[in-house]
Amino acid sequence: MSGTSIDGIDCALTRIGPGGIELLATCEHPITEDTRSRIAAISRVGSNEIERMGALDRELGELFAAATLSLLDQSGHQVDEIRAIGSHGQTIRHLPPSVHQPPEQGFTLQIGDPNTIAQRTGITTVADFRRRDIAAGGEGAPLAPAFHAAAFATAGVARVILNIGGIANATLLDGTGGVRGFDTGPGNTLLDHWIQRHRGTAFDRDGQWAAEGEVDSALLAQLLAHDYFARTGPRSTGKEAFNLDWLDRQLQQLPHSPDARAVQSTLAEFTAATIAEGITREATRVDEIYVCGGGARNTDLMRRLYRRLSPAALDTTAALGLAPEWVEAAAFAWLAWRTLEGLTGNVPAVTGAARAVVLGGVYPGGASAVAR
């Protein structure tokens, strides 16, 4: 799994069976700054896109394969012990039917060639999970809610699983088997890009810089006026909507110029506000909220969420037995298992698809393919 933050490849080795999902080993495989820059560049409209994308697709396939083999080496497991790799890939464009015109041509695109992964590792690879949901009329996202329900639902408990990656999404588990979910809006993406621009660091560790600033109420109100936050029901978004160019336009429209630290604080409040508003508007009851993704490590952001979501209990998914940084990688291992078992992986109430479908394509491995 490599998310919208492009901060590394999250690798999870799991054992899945009737008893549930067991996390056996993990590692974070690095992505070089040069590769990160080219991923960010291909995620924007530019020249010579097809050739650049094709080359990067192969490069990331090699990188995901190397990440897989590194995880196996570190954990002491062998290729022939592994049934399959579930590769989410790297999203470079997400324009689902709800935002694309015409809607029937809406699409999402993840790269990281699964043919290359299967060839280099010798392991059957399941990939391209999102496009089948879009073909069924859905948003292609979020897909994690099905896994959240399988891993974290408890009868009688109204529970929210909140993933804060570059984009944040919430899964509502009502305690009676009902599952709903949606992207709430920006998670870490604006925070990361703003501090990168002004302080040269990849992220705001523990949210310290944001915590030092004061929220600019005029800027916050302007950010909250984005029409995405008026939508209800199945919905998804991405960096196509929420990016530094968009933020710069919002700043230009203000009658004053807040300092960079105040903007960082406002962006943290913006993330917290949109998460809290989305949850409270959609859920009739919330007993517990468990956070996963990189945002779970942002102390300042967690404090802001606690203030807005109290009296619901707030913790990370570690309290449920799965460390927050590995939930998404484990989810795509589980989705790959579902595909190989011929089981559906999407939740129509979440994505808006016409029906539940088996997700992804299967790319066979084989011992003869291994080149190590």
Residue list for the binding site for ATP:
3-10
For tokens 């903007």, name the residue.
Answer: 263
d(CA 198, CA 258): 13
Give the residue from 8, 10, 15 showing the smallest Cα distance to 84.
Answer: 15
CB atoms within 10 A of CB 50: 7
86 phi, psi to nearest 5 deg: -105, 110
The angle subtended at Cα 231 by Cα 44 and Cα 153, nearest 5°, is 95
Question: If residue 196 lies in a helix (H) or strand (E), which one and from where to where?
Answer: helix 189-199
Paired tokens of 323: 């460390």
Listed residue (130, 87, 116, 131) closest to 328, CA to CA: 87
Q: Which residue ranges make up the annotated binding site?
A: 3-10
Q: Which of 143, 140, 144 is nearest to 99 (CA)?
A: 140
| Peptide bond preceding 97 in cis form (omega within 30 of 0) | no
> Residue 369's closest CA among 14, 56, 65?
65
Tokens of 158: 């109204």
Q: What is the distance between the alpha carbons of residues 90 and 252, in angstroms, rounded to a whole number?
A: 32
